[in-house]
A = this chain, B = another copy of it.
Amino acid sequence: MIIYEAKDWWGALKHFHTSFSIRVLLRRVGFVSLYGILLTLFDQHVIDVHLPFDGTLFSLLGITLSLLLVFRTNTAYDRFWEGRRQWGSLVNYSRNLAVLMDSLLPDEATTNRIYFARMLSNFALALKGHLRTGVDFAELEDPGDGELETLPQYTHVPSRIAALLLRRMQELRQDRLINDTDLISFRLYHQNLLDITGACERIKKTPIPFSYSFFIKLFITLYVLLIPFVLVQTYGYFAIVAITLAAYALIGIEMIGDEIEEPFGLDCNDLPLNQIAQTIRRNMHEILGVPPSVTVALKQETDYIKVN
């Protein structure tokens, strides 16, 4: 994620180069400009190629396209924001579970306190890995139950961690350390862990239907290819400026949508999952009053940039 001060207009503009896949956008806009230049030169020096279109239909199709692009933008942002909301929920429910366990476990029950602090941290870290390039087991802390070694056998690690948490609670009940009431409360919070997992998988695995994506991309392509034919007679060489501007606007909106609709990756506009997971880790240990493990290899994955 790029952290920025929204109200600082020029500060934002200066960081052009750190912003999204700007190189790709620039390259694409460059291609369109080149195409515009060639066509304009051809028109001015060889044969008059312009179409006898007035602005009406051209303008109407442009508005239809703009409306579609705003629909696309909305959709992409909703997915981005839902992804953020799910990770916000993960923070909330991790804290709720930790606060609950803190009230249930005596201060001196260090083994259990460490177990829950580490397992809840592990869940967040495993989910991050699961949504990105795979769980990095070196990041996980050993909660001391001997299960850490068996985790890599499972295809769905977050589910396994969730199952282990519930099994541990069941054992605490059998040992009469907690009672049925406490177990119900725990389960009510706990179910959210897998709900969040499923929601993130849904966002990750189901992009906007291919038809829309394709339809919009083809529409933009046809539109941008036709613009010069319409504009070259009236505008002459200035048609090149106009084409470049239009390409910037249309291709840019589409590309940002493509980028943020799956917010769990490592693109610079994606969510800082590693930061959030580390925050959860710190919170869990603070709430349960136990020190974090020192042996674990904290990933130095900086997934955010500060621009102003």
Contact = CB atoms under 8 A, between A and B. Distances in A.
A70 to B, nearest CB: 5
Contact of A99 (B68, B96, B162, B202): B162
A134 interface: no
A60 B231 CA distance: 13
Contact of A166 (B51, B99, B194, B248): B99
Interface in A156-208: 156, 159-160, 162-163, 166-167, 169-170, 179-181, 183-185, 187-189, 191, 194-195, 197-199, 201-202, 206-208
Contacts of A85: 202
Contacts of A201: 88, 91
B12 A217 contact: yes
A184 to B, nearest CB: 6
Contact of A103 (B166, B180, B245, B256): B166
Interface stretch (A71-79, A114-122, A140-148): A71-79
A58 to B, nearest CB: 7
Interface string A289-305: 00000000000000000
Contact of A69 (B24, B61, B64, B169): B64
Interface string A254-277: 011011111000001101000000
A77 B76 CA distance: 12
B99 A209 contact: no
A301 B72 CA distance: 30
A242 interface: yes
A256 B209 contact: yes
Contacts of A179: 180
A246 interface: yes
29 contacts: A1-B209, A1-B210, A12-B210, A12-B213, A19-B214, A20-B210, A52-B234, A53-B235, A61-B245, A63-B63, A64-B66, A64-B69, A64-B253, A71-B73, A75-B77, A91-B198, A92-B194, A95-B162, A95-B198, A96-B191, A103-B167, A104-B170, A155-B282, A160-B287, A181-B184, A211-B260, A211-B269, A215-B252, A219-B249
Given A56-B58, A95-B194, A210-B268, 18 more contacts: A1-B210, A4-B207, A6-B258, A6-B262, A55-B56, A56-B59, A64-B69, A71-B74, A91-B198, A92-B197, A95-B198, A96-B194, A102-B166, A103-B167, A183-B185, A189-B191, A210-B269, A215-B256
